[in-house]
Amino acid sequence: MSDEATASHPSGPAAELPRLSGFQPRTGTLDQWNAAYVRVEDYLRAHRIHNRLHQSRVIERVLECAALRHEADPRLDPVTVASEEIARIMQAWFASHLGEGARPPERLAAQARVAMLLSDLPSRWPYAFLDLENTPPEAHVAMEKSALQAGPDMAVSNMVPRDIDLGTLPEVAGDTLETLERWPIIRLLVLWTLFAAVMAALFYRTR
């Protein structure tokens, strides 16, 4: 392959750097930051952010924040730091649209992600994602309208057992059984009557 072809198709981690011309980390290796770049890019794609220009802007912003943290503590993994930074920035953006209120962060993030899908924000406003200053008002309104409204919080209650009310049936049945116990002849007549009824029914069905 010629030198010209090689120059037009750079390989390795350095191939990603022209897309982030302002990103110059002082700590960590290029391989580590390239892996962090890929992790953030995959995260954006998972949220349907496919606009390449906006991807580059967001990734550079995230990696710059991650590089500052890594410079303060080089023992940290750049991939982990970048993942934490994109999550933090997203949480702040979610709160700017839906408000934090009394909701836990996990619930806010879930509602905001559903609102993004329902409002089709990545397709309708591809440059609004994670832009706290230039989000169009209509995108903000669409996010608010699409946010899920949660029901009331669950309340713990005590259920007191109650006796089952069967009406007068138990009393009538109890009186009947007591009468049959006191009068054996009546009990015998009842049993023979039931036996005769069963035999009559069988005879009727087998004719």
In this structure, are 201 and 114 located in the same domain? no
**Torsion angle (degrees, nearest 10) of CA 95, 97, 103, 108:** -80
The answer on pLDDT for 95 being more than 90 is no
Same domain, 39 and 109: yes
pLDDT in tens, 105-160: 777 777 778 787 888 788 888 787 887 677 777 777 777 777 754 444 445 555 66
Give domain status of residue 6, yes or no: no
- In terms of domains, do 128 and 190 share one? no
H or E element that contains 171 = helix 169-182
Top-confidence residue, 40 or 198: 40
Same domain, 111 and 188: no
Q: What is the pLDDT of residue 164?
A: 60
109 shares a domain with 36 = yes
The domain tally of the chain equals 2
Arithmetic mean of pLDDT, 157-184? 62
Strand, helix or coil for residue 32:
helix
Structural domain span for residue 195: 169-206
The answer as to whether 72 is a domain residue is yes
Q: Is residue 164, in this structure, part of any structural domain at all?
A: no
The model's pTM is 0.55
Same domain, residue pair 129 and 195: no
Q: Which helix (H) or strand (E) holds 140?
A: helix 137-146
Residue 79 scores a pLDDT above 90: yes
pLDDT at 173: 61
Same domain, 85 and 186: no
Q: How far apart are CA 113 and CA 146, in angstroms?
A: 10
Residue 188 within a domain: yes
Residue 41 has pLDDT above 90, yes or no: yes
Residue 45 and residue 121 share a domain: yes
Q: Quick check: is 156 in a domain?
A: no
**Same domain (yes/no): 142, 173:** no
Q: Considering the domain boundaries, does residue 180 fall inside one? A: yes
Choice among 16-20, 68-72, 106-110, 180-184 with the minimum mean pLDDT: 16-20
Q: Which residues of 7-41 are buried (b: 16+ CB within 10 A; e: fewer)?
A: eeeeeeeeebbeebeebebebbeeebbbbbbebbb
